[in-house]
Amino acid sequence: MKKIIYLSLLLIISIHVRGQVSNISLNVTPTANYTWWDNQLFIENGPMVGGMIGIGLGRNLELRGIYERSLDLKSTLNDLKVPDNIVDKFNSREVDVTRWGGEFKANIPTGGSIAPYLTLGTGVQKLKFEELKQEQIYLSAGLGTKFNLGDRVTLNLEGKLHAFNLDPSSILRVDDPTGDSFNDWIDNNISNERMMNWSLNVGIQFYLGGKNPNSYTALDRALERQYSNGFTGPRFVIEPGGAYINFDGDTNLRDTYLLGGAVGFDLNDYVGIRGFYYRSTVDEKLSTDFDKLALYGGDFIARLNVSRGVVPYISVGGGYMNVYNSYVGEAPLLPTSSGYFAKGGLGLSIPVSRYFEIFGAANLMFTTDKEDPADLESTEDLKKHTMFNAGLKFNLGKAANADKALNTYVDERVDDRTLMYEQRINELKKELDKAYEENDSVKASRLIDEKRRLETEMVLSADNQRVMTTTASPATVYGGNTMIRLTPQELESLVDQVVKGVGKPTLKEETPEERIDRLERIILGGAPTTYNQQPATYIQQPV
């Protein structure tokens, strides 16, 4: 258990090492592995094949669903010392192993073409031999490295451990009346064991959707900052709320409402961690009269959208259910014990403002009657409950200047243009001095006109106000006024036109109204960026 906790901490650290993420992506990974089964499992080592489908939460964290199945495995005695007089009763049989489950993958950024990663997961494994079937709950942990084959393709090599509990005697028992002595010896010498199985995995991972930050333009980065969650860095989260649990009918627990909440951090737009506490209320009603049952634990939150829209999310977590001694269950005379639980679910968060959201989620919660969860063997040892929770979310953090990055980008483009003007003006000054020395009045007059024109254009360029809003639709009306909306590509093209348009012949300095009219004509009609002697009249009708 300590090793799992340490690995979980490493996963969180790797998320925080590089907070900047790109966006949501999908990935598909066909896989193959060679497994060295635990010597006490009595299965020959051999290959497995399968695949994974995952969701990338930025660059450094992925959630993946896994399916694998074995190829041509058989049972074996390994080093088991069976007495010579009964060993011939053993019959090797075909064994089929299938697994399905889920895992976290945390990429550790190194900046090179080779990047290590960690995995942590769980799932269900099924062993089938002849007509017998057994299911096990497994935990897995792995360490691997990926080699970048392209912008969207990687080669993954990974060493992985799968651990589960199993009584392997059923794999060796023979269905033969003459083999009773062999079966008796197996039953007396083999017991339930914790199996530790190692594998070497290889996979080709294909990334679908999302955008590679290495290909970002300066404008892409500016817009990404502008359309982030509205905060800079991690933010502290407070979530008061309530819940309802419909307990498994095979338990002595009563369905109940709970009140409480959670606190934690959103590490970036997509990843958060929470600690929660809920206390049940009496008589299956929402009230401030509390019953003798409480839940506390932690959740991992994976948000599947940017933070300025309605956000679906996945939560995975667990904790401890504390049933007080005075708790009265469905059957008052039967005892009800405390224990650990695991849960996972889907939710929806609706932002009301930068600092306030409303959320709700549906979860499956699992408990067990075993005192130590490490002794879990199969899904039959689990009790399944349904949990619904909802509440309010308050975000506390350092607000980001949403327009600063975009304004800085536009300013830098104008500054570059201004520097070109200054360099040309300095050259003209030297040429003008030379013309004076040579008493060339014609050339001097021409240079003076060009110098004045460039000086005027440079002033206009520096004075030009950039008031732009960049979203997806063409135009929107607010209070009768029209706000122009641009895609990133349209905005970048517009900036080029505005900056370059300053170099056109100018007879007088434009007023602010004239500059706004010219900008609107560029956006809506692609009109040439020229300056008129008379004030332009142009009316943008609301749409």
CA–CA gap between residue 255 and residue 247 (Å, rounded)? 6
Which 8-state DSSP code applies to residue 380? G
One-letter amino acid of 180: D
Q: How many CA atoms does the CB half-sphere of 74 hold within 13 Å?
A: 8
Longest dimension (CA), the chain: 125
Q: Write down the pLDDT at residue 12.
A: 41
Run of H or E including 427 = helix 404-437
pLDDT digits (tens, 9 = 90+) for 414-429: 666 666 767 777 787 8
Residues 182, 176: Cα–Cα separation, whole Å: 10
Cβ 391 vs Cβ 240: under 8 Å: yes
> Cα–Cα distance between 334 and 318 in angstroms, integer?
26
pLDDT at 8: 46
Nearest to 192 by CA among 373, 382, 375: 375
Q: What is the pLDDT of residue 404?
A: 59
Q: What pLDDT score does 187 carry? A: 85
Tell me what pLDDT residue 19 has: 33
Query: Is this model's pTM higher than 0.75 or not?
Result: no
- Angle, alpha carbons 95-100-103 (nearest 5°): 135
Q: Say what the pLDDT of residue 43 is.
A: 93
Q: How far is it, in rounded angstroms, from Cα 117 to Cα 386? A: 34
- Number of continuous H segments (helices) and E segments (strands) in the chain: 8, 19
pLDDT tens string, the chain, 543 residues long: the values are: 444 444 444 444 443 333 333 578 899 999 999 999 999 889 999 999 999 999 998 878 899 999 999 998 999 988 888 888 888 888 888 999 999 999 999 988 776 667 899 999 999 999 998 778 889 999 999 999 998 888 789 999 999 999 999 888 888 888 877 788 888 898 888 877 889 999 999 999 998 876 665 555 655 555 555 555 566 678 999 999 999 999 999 999 999 999 999 999 998 888 999 999 999 999 999 999 999 999 999 999 999 876 567 899 999 999 999 999 999 999 988 889 999 999 999 999 999 988 999 999 999 999 999 888 888 888 899 999 999 999 999 999 877 665 555 566 566 666 666 667 677 777 878 887 887 777 777 777 787 877 777 777 666 655 554 444 433 344 444 444 444 555 555 555 655 555 555 444 444 455 655 655 655 555 555 444 443 333 333 333 333
Looking at 130-181, which runs of residues are DSSP E strands? 132-148, 153-166
- Express each pLDDT in 285-341 by its tens digit: 999 999 999 999 999 999 987 656 789 999 999 999 999 999 999 998 888 999 999
> What single string gives the DSSP state of each residue in 189-256?
H---EEEEEEEEEEEEEEEESS--GGG--HHHHHHHHHTS-SBSS-EEEEEEEEEEEE--TTSSPPPE
Q: Please, where are the H alpha helices in 464-538?
A: 488-501, 512-525
Contact 293, 260 (CB under 8 A): no
Under 8 Å between Cβ of 393 and 357:
yes
Token reading at 364: 């499956």
* Encoded tokens for 118: 């960690």
pLDDT on residue 536? 36
Local structure of residue 535 (DSSP, 8 states): P
Are 204 and 158 contacting, i.e. CB atoms less than 8 angstroms apart?
no
Helix (H, G, I), strand (E, B) or coil at 466: coil
3-state secondary structure of 129: strand
* pLDDT, position 242: 97
Q: Are 419 and 253 in contact (CB under 8 A)?
A: no
